[in-house]
Amino acid sequence: MNAGLLLLRLLLAGLLAGHAAQKLLGWFRGMGPDGTAPVFESWGFRPGRPLVLLAGTCELTGAALIGSGTATPLAAAVVMGTMIVAAAPNHPNGLWAHLGGYEVPFVYGALALALATTGPGAWSVDHAAGMEGASGPLWALAATALAVTAAIPALTLRRRNLRTTAPASRPAARDD
């Protein structure tokens, strides 16, 4: 089980770090902060550049914490909150990614929730620090509550910004 949890953590961390690198550095065919900012603004996340930097930093922080198995409930909350916000622009398209849906952020957030529930396993900083008791349904519930609470301001700002923007001026959402 510990090997499986380590593999799960490292895979999720690698994918999150890749998305962060697309936003922050333009790696992996990403557009970097300046190229991603107009996309964020079209989704209602304004001002675009600072919010791109915030999203990328949250993804990178979540990746580092999840990958190392450090403060796992907090790490899960960071990832889930970021993914709740990331799912919003594609929510009208439904779940499936091939139809422009929110499948990718849903899966990343769900994996983070699973890790908050199970804990990171014995091969983690949490275990080495004697924090293996910081997991389970109550910790997962607390992480989810923190994630939702943290996502609300960004989603509220987005909703307000979209109400003040004419629908014809918004480009179609795209996956980064």
For 131-162, what is the HEC assignment?
Answer: CCCCCCHHHHHHHHHHHHHHHHHHHHHHHHHH
Distance, CA of 82 to CA of 78 (rounded, Å):
6
Whether 176 maps to a domain, the answer reads no
Whether 174 maps to a domain, the answer reads no
Neighbours of 92 (CB within 10 A): 10
Distance, CA of 45 to CA of 160 (rounded, Å):
10
More confident residue, 34 or 133: 34
How many domains, the chain? 1
Instruction: Report how far apart, in Å, the C-alpha atoms of 35 and of each of 30, 31, 127 are.
Output: 8, 5, 40
Tell me what pLDDT residue 133 has. 81
Whether 175 maps to a domain, the answer reads no
Q: How confident is the model at residue 134 (pLDDT cuts 50, 70, 90)?
A: confident
* pLDDT of 169 above 90: no
Whether 113 maps to a domain, the answer reads yes
173: exposed, middle or buried (C-beta count within 10 Å: 0-12, 13-18, 19+)?
A: middle
At 46-76, the pLDDT tens digits run 999 999 999 999 999 999 999 999 999 999 9
Whether 55 maps to a domain, the answer reads yes
Look up the pTM and report it: 0.90
- DSSP assignment, residue 173? P
Distance, CA of 59 to CA of 56 (rounded, Å):
5
Placement of tokens 């209602």 in the chain: 44
What does the buried/exposed string (b/e) look like for 58-89 if buried means 16 or more CB atoms within 10 Å of the residue's CB? bbbbbbbbbbbbbbbbbbbbbbbbbbbbbbbb
Distance, CA of 26 to CA of 172 (rounded, Å):
21
At 99-118, the pLDDT tens digits run 999 999 999 999 999 999 99
Whether 88 maps to a domain, the answer reads yes
Q: For residue 41, give its domain range.
A: 2-169
Whether 165 maps to a domain, the answer reads yes
